[in-house]
Amino acid sequence: MDRELNQVELISVADNGQPANDVSGSAYISADGRFIIFDSFATNLTEAPVCAEKFNRCPQVYLRDRQQGHTYLLSQPANDQPPDDGSFAGDISGNAAYAAIITGATNLVSTTLSKPFYNRKGFIVKIKQITLQFTL
């Protein structure tokens, strides 16, 4: 909600303006208001696959760049495969240099991670604002 202009802006949207096709939540905003991190069960926010085949649906973490009008999947494995479990938004730093995500996925990094039942791990995602490329 922009209180100066008295306008509400939908954040959980795809690049083409389509709203999320499922529930979104846990939104956090950078200090300048440009970036929003949120988690969503939606499958239409990016072109990236968002659930491994064993899931009907699983939440993932997205970053919306309000200035560029682009939505990025932050909880995406480096090998472009679908995440093997759900992820949740943790927070975004005020300067939008870093985002924290909580995940059960074991394939977000190349290091082998154990997967005991209901085990969640925290990751810091470095956001390169100039090129808008993401690395874990």
Q: Which of 58, 57, 56, 67 is nearest to 96 (CA)?
A: 67
* CA atoms of 84 and 105, how far apart (whole Å): 5
Q: Report d(CA 126, CA 48) in Å as an integer.
A: 19
Which residues lie closer than 8 Å to 64 by C-beta, 6 or more apart? 11, 12, 13, 35, 36, 37, 38, 70, 71, 72
The confidence score (pLDDT) of residue 113 equals 63
Structure confidence by residue, pLDDT tens digits, 46-85: 988 888 766 778 899 999 999 899 999 998 887 778 888 8
Read off the pTM.
0.85
Residue 33 near residue 11, CB atoms below 8 Å? no
